[in-house]
């Protein structure tokens, strides 16, 4: 194999696929990236796969001789990222030796790889369901739901985001048992009932990588294929594959109350900055912040009483309907939700100090963020 490519291209694409390299590989080849040079297309394809998450990308290069090899991902990234701007020549020795030479303006390096035949093939889905999604809608849905997925590996199915294709768009849902985020993205060309009904739970780790990759893809259509065990997202010259999480996802729709006795509208930035200030004290003790609704004064008061540390209190103007009440929350859950919402104003709907509370943006995004309050002994 012999090819010449730009250091910047190689470096950015290497850092992209390296996210799918296993940190604790069960087989030595899983610590490598697969590099395939194609003389007929004058492109280089890079792949990494940890047997759960797979990422593949390609970029143009001057390929003088086709070939395929695997090289240690971390070592290769460390070398390439430190090379100066300009061309890098990659050349592998005679078949069987697995030694690759990297040459740049600054010098020459030799790296020992492994045979490409040992590298597992990224999953392909020939028979499963297929649909096309708009990249922007996917990113909106992921940004508004991913943060609520569980980090507890014992609750396997909750460590992912449930993605379902409805007749009028996509629905994303994530919960860790204490809070629930649901985002509905309305597709312009709403799907008919005969379209394949996407209904899968994808690991949060894979979707975090997908969101980073799609963030730069304005308006691209993403081809999604899925079967019982895998999902494949493909667009432009990039591909992400992930295993699906097994198990029945909770029926989250029945958790959302239909009617409310209290409702308030508040400036999101004001609410967020007040919570960030008061969380400094809440973090000292138990993360709990008390929220007092005062409809007569049309204001919401936040208070924290951290025993042996101090206390804090802030008042914010709000449009409140319903009677006055006090309710307590884990301040982190409120902060996470407000950061995921990007509208100027937020609506908060609630019934009692012990029943679920709904936060939603006042704007185009259809998002429902449910938080369970904390019971505090008076």
Is the domain of 137 the same as that of 24? no
pLDDT value at residue 373: 96
Is the domain of 135 the same as that of 248? yes
pLDDT value at residue 94: 67
Q: Which of 118, 140, 165 lies at the terminal end of a domain, its last residue? A: 118
236 in Cβ contact with 223 (< 8 Å): no
Is the domain of 182 the same as that of 230? yes
Residue 324 lies in a domain: yes
**Rounded to a whole number, what is the largest CA-CA distance in the chain?**
83
Of 94-108, 185-199, 251-265, which has the strongest mean pLDDT? 251-265
Distance of CA 295 to the CA centre of its chain: 38
Is the domain of 233 the same as that of 286? no
Q: Which of 253, 273, 294 lies at the terminal end of a domain, its last residue? A: 253
Q: Is the dihedral of CA 146, 32, 67, 91 positive or negative?
A: positive
Cβ-count burial 88-110 (b if 16+ within 10 Å, e if not)? bebbbeeeeebebebbbeeeebe
- Number of C-alpha atoms within 13 angstroms, CB side, residue 345? 9
Structure tokens at 49: 């796969």
Residue 358 lies in a domain: yes
Residue 124 lies in a domain: no
Residue 91 lies in a domain: yes
pLDDT value at residue 377: 72
Is the domain of 222 the same as that of 270? no
Is the domain of 33 the same as that of 137? no
Residue 103's domain is classified under what CATH number?
Answer: 3.10.150.10
Lowest mean pLDDT among 15-24, 150-159, 183-192: 183-192
Is the domain of 142 the same as that of 231? yes
Residue 230 lies in a domain: yes
Distance (Å, whole) CA 175 – CA 182: 9
Given a cut of 90, whether residue 23 has pLDDT beyond it is no
**Domain region containing 145:** 129-253
Is the domain of 77 the same as that of 177? no
Given a cut of 80, whether residue 304 has pLDDT beyond it is yes
Q: How many structural domains are present in the chain? A: 3
Q: In what helix (H) or strand (E) does residue 276 lie, and over which residues does it extend?
A: helix 268-285
Is the domain of 141 the same as that of 249? yes
Structure tokens at 229: 């065990």
Given a cut of 80, whether residue 194 has pLDDT beyond it is no
Q: How confident is the model at residue 365 (pLDDT cuts 50, 70, 90)?
A: confident
The tens digit of pLDDT for each residue in 314-353 reads: 999 999 999 999 999 999 999 999 999 989 999 999 999 9
The tens digit of pLDDT for each residue in 81-122 reads: 999 999 999 999 766 678 999 999 999 999 999 989 999 999
Is the domain of 228 the same as that of 301? no
């Amino acid at each position: 194999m012999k090819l010449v490519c730009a250091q910047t291209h190689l470096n950015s694409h290497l850092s992209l696929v390296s996210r799918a390299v296993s940190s604790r590989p069960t087989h030595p080849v899983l610590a490598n990236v697969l590099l395939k040079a194609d003389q007929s297309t004058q492109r280089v394809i890079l792949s990494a796969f940890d047997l759960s998450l797979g990422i593949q990308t390609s970029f143009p290069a001057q390929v003088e001789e086709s070939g395929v090899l695997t090289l240690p991902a971390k070592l290769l990234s460390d070398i390439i990222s430190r090379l100066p701007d300009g061309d890098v020549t990659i050349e592998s020795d005679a078949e069987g030796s697995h030694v690759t030479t990297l040459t740049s303006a600054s010098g020459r390096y030799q790296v020992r790889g492994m045979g490409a035949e040992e590298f597992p093939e990224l999953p392909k889905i020939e028979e499963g369901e297929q649909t096309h999604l708009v990249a922007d809608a996917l990113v909106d849905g992921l940004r508004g739901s991913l943060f609520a997925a569980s980090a507890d590996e014992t609750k396997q199915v909750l460590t992912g985001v449930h993605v379902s294709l409805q007749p009028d768009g996509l629905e994303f849902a994530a919960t860790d048992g204490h809070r629930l985020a649901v985002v509905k993205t309305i597709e312009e060309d709403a799907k008919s009932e005969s379209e394949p009904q996407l209904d899968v739970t994808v690991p949060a780790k894979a979707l975090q990588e997908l969101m980073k990759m799609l963030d730069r893809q304005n308006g691209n259509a993403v081809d999604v294929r899925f079967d019982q065990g895998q999902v494949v997202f493909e667009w432009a010259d990039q591909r992400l594959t992930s295993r699906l999480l097994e198990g029945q996802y909770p029926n989250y729709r029945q958790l959302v109350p239909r009617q409310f006795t209290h409702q308030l509208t508040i400036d999101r930035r004001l609410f967020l900055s007040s919570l960030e200030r008061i969380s400094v004290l809440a973090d000292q003790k138990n993360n709990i912040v008390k929220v007092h609704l005062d409809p007569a004064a049309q204001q919401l008061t936040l208070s924290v009483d951290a025993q042996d540390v101090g206390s804090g209190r802030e008042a914010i103007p709000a449009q409140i309907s319903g009677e006055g009440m006090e309710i307590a929350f884990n301040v982190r859950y409120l902060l996470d939700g407000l950061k995921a919402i990007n509208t100027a104003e937020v609506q908060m709907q609630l019934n009692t100090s012990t029943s679920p509370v709904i936060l939603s943006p006042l704007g185009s995004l259809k998002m429902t963020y449910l938080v369970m309050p904390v019971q505090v002994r008076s």
